[in-house]
Structure 1
Amino acid sequence: MAAAEPVYSPTTVSETKSKKWLIVPTDNLDKVRCLIKVVEVLLSFVAFILEEVVTNCMSCSPLYFFEFVSCTAFLFTALLLILLATTLHKRVGISCWPSLDFVYTALMAAFFLIASIVFASDNGGTDLENAAVAFGFLATVAFLVDAGWFVKTRGFPFKKTNQQAASNGGAPVAEAEKLNREQNEAD
């Protein structure tokens, strides 16, 4: 038997997979927003740590609310950053990542602002509490900058467009260039 060549050989060139774990920019995250998200994670983490170090509280409810918001912001923003900066977001299968990212960022900005105002208005006045409040306000600014940059670069994600989708039962669109029978016969 002659040297058999494979009957079924690949017809396309296989794509070499990148061995990088963190790839920026991606479809959903550019370099500037990645940097802003890293700043959000760091500021949220510092606010959370400073709040955790507080040992005495006059009224603990604002402290606990600030703790909840700063911890949530830190953990979920870190998770969102990892999802957006890797190919994991494609595996999860959610097609509305930009809308989800924008809503999350805007909500975190609002919650951080409320938590920081409440904690600033009702705390013991210690240096640790004041520092935690300051980092809470800085994190609020970072989330607002992120939401603003998102709108500036990608537009508002829920904006209605005037373009109508093509439908099977609609009127046909007029042709831009009419066919001329005389010209076709001459060719």
Structure 2
Amino acid sequence: MASEVYSVTTAPNPKSSWFQVPSERLDKRRFVVKVIEVIFSFVAFILEEVVSSCNSCFALYFFEFVSCTAFLFTLLLLVLLSTTLHARVGVACWASLDFWYTSLIAFLFLVSSIIFAADNNGTNLEKSAVVFGFMAMSAFFVDLFFFYRTSGFPFQKPQSGGGSPAGGEPQVETEKLNAAE
């Protein structure tokens, strides 16, 4: 008898899961690309860390900074966007944050990989780190491409089909609904 009373109200809610992919912030395709970004950044960082000596260390240290930053912050962003933790952080503009972060890291990976490719000792470890740096940079640019295809640029104001004049401000209704006739 008790199972008849409680069976309807105790049905599991699939939306109450802590892991949410796909969601309005991250679809499956971009989730996979972000995982690839994390992996490539991590491998580039590890390969760079194994390098034992350098003649001019600026390129090595800059590449180290970019790959480590990309790995840690992309992993953090991936966890936040694919779980319910993003609601507890208090950031309202996740799309802008994701777009600008991904753009910045893609650019920094491009610059650091070029500098490290031009100024290294030519060991196989350094060449491998550069290759993974370029692969990570490519993954970040692919992420930007998918972001643009699904969401557009986050800083563009949406075009409204009606209800607002050409100035962009919405019209305010001044007439009362239940006005006496």
Q: TM-score, normalised by structure 1?
A: 0.79
Residue among 42, 45, 48 paired with 1:45: 42
For 1:101-116, what aligned pairs fall within 5 Å after superposition?
A: 101-116=98-113
Q: Percent identity?
A: 57
2:59 aligned with 1:62, yes or no? yes
C-alpha separation between the residues in 1 aligned to 2:25 and 2:51?
A: 38
Tell me which residue corresponds to 2:6: none
Task: Quote the offset at 1:161 in angstroms.
Answer: 3.6
Which of 147, 171, 176 is equivalent to 1:150? 147
How large is the RMSD of aligned CA atoms in angstroms? 2.1
Rounded to whole Å, the distance in 2 between the matches of 1:77 and 1:155 is 21
Q: Structure 2 CA distance, aligned partners of 1:127 and 1:59?
A: 17
Given residue 82 of structure 1, which amino acid in structure 2 is its aligned partner?
Answer: V
Pair 1:76-2:73 in alignment: yes
The gaps in structure 1 that reach 5 residues or longer are 1-12, 173-187
Residue 92 of structure 2 corresponds to 95
Q: Once the 2 structures are TM-superposed, how far is the Cα of residue 93 of structure 1 from its aligned partner?
A: 1.8
Number of positions where the alignment pairs a residue of Structure 1 with one of Structure 2: 159
Displacement after TM superposition at 1:18 (Å)? 5.8
**Rg larger in 1 or in 2?**
1
Q: Which runs of 5+ in 2 are unaligned?
A: 1-8, 161-167, 176-181
How many angstroms does 1:165 deviate by?
Answer: 3.7
| Cα distance change, pair 165–116 in 1 and its aligned pair in 2 (3 A) | same
